[in-house]
Structure 1
Amino acid sequence: MVPTRWQAAILEVLQRQGRARISELARNLAVSEETIRRHVRPLVARGLLGREHGAVHWNGPGGEAPFDRRLRIRAAAKRAIARAAAGLVADGQTVMMDTGSTTAFVAEALAGRERLTLVTNGIEIARSLVGRNGHRVYLAGGELKAELAAAVGPEALAFIGQFRADFAILSIAAVDGEEGLMNYALDEARLARAMMARAERVVLVADQAKFGQRAAVHVARLEEIHTLVTDAPPPEPFAGRLAEAGITLVVAGDQAETTVSSSTMV
């Protein structure tokens, strides 16, 4: 079964925090509680989620870390996005990347470049490039969170502040035409903002399941990013807001082809 966009968003929340109330999911995703219940039922039937009174909890395979599970959701779309995002980066440039399943695929796609400088808080992202093709990899310290496979906290923020980058390539939990970029965790949002402040260009990598969603923590306005790389054309009115903000839109195909559109091109 391929998850619907709502099911993918619900799974991501539950994989991160383990449990959520139906009302909380409805509020964060800006849909009705009945919509949440309708999309939760097949996930409960498959054993991925467990049901409680007014809430659901993660009930997936216990042998995998939450980060590993997220890598399996919409993996083909994320790989296509990663190839397109990697195409924006030239040999020898400096790239910041936050932790995330999509950015993990971007790191894999960048491994074939030469002499990159990578600054990240993500363990798996660092692992993809370290020791290969003359890359220099800087991994932030701080509190290590298993569910993120990454370090967060004031130490990580201070570390990021020591660098300047050509690109900040960021993943996100949700993106909306009015609210902009959002995340579920304050630590992750702070890390993303720190990277944005230290980069010449900000590239958001997000599959279509993130469009029109809501999450608890605001990260940035749409106008603060330069490029959105995704796997499908955004719907209206979100597409209109991207155009108003002058954001370069890159729609990745299943193979190497991409479609690029915007009034402001990279």
Structure 2
Amino acid sequence: MQSDDATPAAAGRGAGVEAVHRPRRDLKGDHRRGRIIELLSPDGADSVTVGGLADSFGVSEATIRRDLAHLEDRGLITRTYGGAAISRPRAELSMPQRESTHARAKRSIGRAAAGIVEDGDLVILDAGSTTEQVAAAIGNRPVSVVTNGLRVINRLLPFEHTSVLVLGGALRGFNETISGPDAETMLSRVYARFAFIGGDGVHPQRGVASRTYEQSRIKSLMMERAADVFVVADSSKLTDESFPYWSALPQEWGLITDRGADRAALAALRLAGATDIITTEPE
């Protein structure tokens, strides 16, 4: 019987026996992909571009794109628009830190979101520092708000004309978020005019990012329980996809962000169903 690792010459001597050729391993490709990982190591660059890698290795951009796809499939990198970054989620910020990060952009996003809410509407406000600014902009209006965010609750607490339904469940103190089966049961009993969803990242295929599985579940349900969904996210969230938990976006949805948003990122999100994109000018 012909052995699998017989040489073509030996195979030719065996009447009617076809040579078996093992696929060659692309050693040059392995080396190149290893160098890409080294370039993105903690002591290296934060990100790389397709064009820059092609020039460095003397290969085509198509070859580099295949390399990056291979590394992404293995979970080693995150593809970005025109390049790649190492797969490591950025450190989670506390709520006071989040409040002061991109604060001007978040205030302008909050005002734009509140501007589309009409008196008498029932709205869902996700937990987060950007949705907190939506609550602040809604203010003392005859609007009903369903929320799982402590910051949203505290913003609306002084207002007598605003009705607030607080979702019950388990509190995650670090980001002041309530989630769990009880919160999901309560959500299943309402249907809102708008849902304003925050997130750590927004991706055209993956959806909206969360830090925990429980948070991703409640975001998904919030989007199901509203006639119109708007993601409220500053521009830094549109090119960060290094998170483990994601909530799929509906077929059609809206995005409210700031004018610093990457044009390629906005184009990809528009193709992914963002039919209404509002960009704001930070104060």
Q: Quick one: distance in 1 between partners of 2:79 and 2:199? A: 14
Kept after mapping to 2: 8 A contact 1:203/1:225: no
Compute the displacement of 1:122 (Å): 0.8
- Highest CA radius of gyration, 1 or 2? 2
Report deviation, 1:32.
Answer: 3.2
Identify the residue that residue 187 of structure 2 maps to in structure 1.
Answer: 160
- 1:200 paired residue among 227, 230, 233: 227
Match of 2:85 among 29, 32, 41: 32
2:240 equivalent in structure 1: 213
Contact 1:111 1:133 in 2 (8 A): no
Counterpart-to-counterpart distance in 1, 2:91 and 2:205:
29
| Match of residue 67 from structure 1 | 95
Change (3 A) 1:241 1:227: closer
| Aligned counterpart, 1:248 | 276
Name the CA distance, whole Å, in 1 between partners of 2:131 and 2:78.
Answer: 23
Query: Which range moved further: 94-103 or 179-188?
Result: 179-188
Equivalent residue for 1:108, pick from 115, 129, 136: 136
Choose the corresponding residue for 1:226, options 239, 242, 253.
253
- The answer to whether 1:130 aligns with 2:183 is no
Paired residue secondary structure (1:85): helix
Deviation at 1:244, TM superposition (A): 5.8
Aligned length: 208
Given the superposition, is the C-alpha separation of residues 26 and 92 from structure 1 closer, same or farther in structure 2, using an over 3 Å criterion?
Answer: farther
Are the counterparts in 1 of residues 203 and 269 from structure 2 also a CA contact under 8 Å? no
Q: Distance in 1 between matches of 2:123 and 2:210?
A: 21
Tell me how far apart the structure 1 counterparts of residues 97 and 79 of structure 2 sit (CA, whole Å).
21
Q: Structure 2-normalised TM-score?
A: 0.65
Q: Deviation of residue 130 (structure 1)? A: 3.0
Q: Which runs of 5+ in 2 are unaligned?
A: 1-45, 47-74
Displacement of 1:237 after TM fit? 5.3
Cα distance between partner residues in 2 of 1:237 and 1:75: 21
TM-score by length of 1: 0.69
The residue that corresponds to 2:122 in the other structure is 94
In the alignment, the residues of structure 1 paired with residue 90 and residue 196 of structure 2 have an alpha-carbon distance, to the nearest angstrom, of 32
- Structure 1: segments with no counterpart, 5+ residues: 1-5, 7-24, 37-54, 59-64, 256-266
From the superposition, tell whether residues 92 and 56 of structure 1 become closer, same or farther in structure 2 (CA, over 3 Å): closer
Q: CA RMSD in A?
A: 3.0
What is the distance in 1 between the residues matched to 2:79 and 2:212? Answer: 15
Moved more, 160-169 or 182-191: 182-191
Question: Residue 147 of structure 2: which of 98, 120, 128 is its match?
Answer: 120
Moved over 6 A (4+): 55-58
3-state SS of 1:211 partner: helix
For 1:193 and 1:156, how far apart are their aligned partners in 2? 12
